[in-house]
Structure formats: C-alpha cells, structure tokens
Amino acid sequence: MSYRMIVGLGNPGSEYANTRHNVGFRVVEAFAAKQGAEAWKVERKQKGEIALLSGSKLGKLVLVKPTTYMNESGICVQKLCSYYKIPPEEVVVVYDEINLEVGEVKLSMTGSAGGHNGLSDIISRIAPRFARIRVGIGGKPLKEMPLADYVLGKFSSDDESVVSATMDRYVESIELLLSLGPELAMNQINRKRKPDDSNSI
C-alpha cells in the first residue's frame, strides 16, 4: 500500500490556531517542515492549503489543510482526490480524538466518524477506505459541557506542554505508516507504551 495524500484537519483562521480541534493541522505542518516540503499555497478552487513533497524517501506526497470549516473538510479532500487522481485508499487523515488521552496517538484503517464532524464529512464524500491517525486531546472535564466548546477551546498549559513534547512522535507515526505500511506501522504506533518508553516509536 502506498499513500499519496496526507490531510490534517482543523479550522481556518488565527482564532482557532491552538485549539484542540486544530491539532491535525499542527501535526501535518510539523511533518511538512521536517520533510522539507514546498511552501504552503492556498488553492482556492480546491478549498485548501497545499504543500507538495517530492524527492523524499517517503515518495511524492500532497499535504493538505482544508480551508473550509471542519464540518465541510470533505469538500477539499474530494476535490484534490479528483484533481490528483488519488483513490481513498491512498489518503491519510490526521485528526483530534477525544477518546484518547493527550499525548496518545493511534492508527486505524476503518471505523465510524465517532462524532467527529470533519471525519464524517470526508467519509460521506470519498468513502471510508482511508487511513486515520488519531491524536489524543482527552475527554471533556464535565459531562454536561458541550462538545463544541471543548474541542474549540485551547489546551491547558500542561496539556500544551505534552502536545509540544510529543509532536515528534505524532510526525513519526505518519513516517512509519508511509515507510512500513499499515500492519507493521500499527504494531508500533498502537502498542502500549511504558512511562519511561520515551524513545520508542
């Protein structure tokens, strides 16, 4: 299995920059910077920001940040899949996951949207046959708190420290998927980590 498109999910605009819902943007930006991708460019027709990566051992990749709001993320993904002739099986989506603690990351190849509006829109527009890298943002502190308020809020200072310290691991998760394929990558990314297992993945 080869992958040609990496999509990070988030909302456009500076007011959303460091919210929990935008961690997918941050991971793909960090991946682009590490791999030496071309500068990000706004493609208005495709409704996204695009950075192309070529000449890498990971192959030619289209890196994407949709410029629609989260619940219409699939519009951009669908347009770019059509433009570059990329099937759903060759797409990786990186997004925030409330069912994982901050600092955790999981790879999955199937599953429902789990209440994530961005993922739901992509599934409805290109089919669910894409890889998902789920980045933990932790659950709501209060059950009665509206989900939108939580995901659109910013990380606490402690959680932000964890996200920043774990960013390399998030980026390495993409690299493992691209270089090893889904089964081997899943074995490494999804295994339980010991508290002192800081150098793994």
H-helix or E-strand containing 182?
helix 182-189
Residue 194, domain member (yes or no): no
Apex 131 CA angle, 128 and 132, nearest 5: 95
How many whole angstroms separate alpha carbon 56 and alpha carbon 3?
13
Decide if 196 is inside a domain. Answer: no
pLDDT, one tens digit per residue, over 6-36 is 999 999 999 999 999 999 999 999 999 999 9
How many other CB atoms sit within 10 Å of the CB of residue 109? Answer: 15
Asked if residue 200 belongs to a domain, the reply is no
With respect to residue 195, please indicate whether it lies within any of the assigned structural domains: no
Is 54 a domain residue? yes
Q: What predicted TM-score, i.e. pTM, was given to this entire model?
A: 0.93
Strand order in the sheet with 131-136: 41-43, 48-53, 61-66, 5-8, 91-97, 131-136, 105-108
Would 199 be classed as within a structural domain?
no
Active site residues: 21
pLDDT, position 153: 97
What's the sign of the alpha-carbon dihedral 5, 38, 176, 198?
negative
Q: What is the pLDDT of residues 124-133, one digit of tens each?
A: 999 999 999 9
We report the CATH number of the domain holding residue 93 as: 3.40.50.1470
Q: What is the tens place of the pLDDT at every residue in 79-116?
A: 999 999 999 999 999 999 999 999 999 999 988 888 89
Q: Is residue 185 part of a domain?
A: yes
Backbone CA torsion sign across 127, 176, 73, 51: negative
The answer to whether position 197 is within a domain reads no
Number of domains the chain is built from = 1
pLDDT tens for 32-75 read 999 999 999 999 999 999 999 997 788 899 999 999 999 999 99
Q: 153 is in which domain, residue-wise? A: 5-189
Angle subtended by helix axes 117-126 and 73-84, to nearest 10? 40
Q: Above pLDDT 90, what percent of the chain?
A: 87
* Side chain identity, residue 141: P
* Residues 59/178, Cβ–Cβ less than 8 Å: yes
